[in-house]
Amino acid sequence: MGKLRLKTLTTSERLALASEVLSDKKAEDIVILDLRELNYTLCDYFMIATAESDRQAQAIVDSLIEKLKEAEGGRMGYSVEGYEVGQWILLDLGDIVLHVLSPEARAYYKLEELWGDAKVVTHV
């Protein structure tokens, strides 16, 4: 039996993979915020997307975790919050924090406004 090979994707590769999964799963209003110039110590990027239902939000997160497992050779200790309810699921990838919100939660919390000083990433 061969050893499991672990590969850590670069931040750019993770952003690209996450963007692909969000698009494939029909997430809407996908925004990537670059937090590095704000000296935010917990992560480098926020990805924010809207899911029309809790099931869609859960499917997005499930798919991204599965794709990351495939690409990196196993689960790397990702943290997920809010999965059971699905109105706002936060997936912490270390360098990137993904927020998948219902339309109502996104309108209420206005994360893009809260982090309005962050640079919006247009290419990944």
pLDDT at 1: 47
With a cut of 50, list the residues of the chain below it in pLDDT.
Answer: 1
Q: How far is CA 110 from CA 9, 39, 50, 116, 123, in A?
A: 30, 21, 12, 10, 22
In a domain, 73, yes or no: yes
CA-nearest of 121, 122, 123, 114 to 44 is 121
Q: Decide: 53 and 105 in contact? Cβ < 8 Å.
A: no
Across the chain, the runs of DSSP E, i.e. the strands, are 28-34, 45-50, 79-81, 88-92, 96-101, 119-121
Residue carrying structure tokens 């794709």: 67
pLDDT at 99: 98
Give me the domain span that covers residue 32.
Answer: 11-121
In a domain, 112, yes or no: yes
- Rounded to whole angstroms, how far apart are CA atoms 52 and 62? 16
Number of structural domains (the chain) is 1
In a domain, 1, yes or no: no
pLDDT at 61: 96
Domain with 89 in it: what CATH number? Answer: 3.30.460.10
Q: For the beta carbon of residue 99, count every other beta carbon within 10 angstroms.
A: 21
In a domain, 16, yes or no: yes
In a domain, 17, yes or no: yes
Q: For the beta carbon of residue 36, count every other beta carbon within 10 angstroms.
A: 13
pLDDT at 30: 96
Q: Are strands 119-121 and 96-101 parallel, antiparallel or unpaired?
A: unpaired
Task: Note the pTM of the prediction, 2 decimals.
Answer: 0.90
In a domain, 64, yes or no: yes
Q: For residue 1, what are its two tokens? A: 């039996």
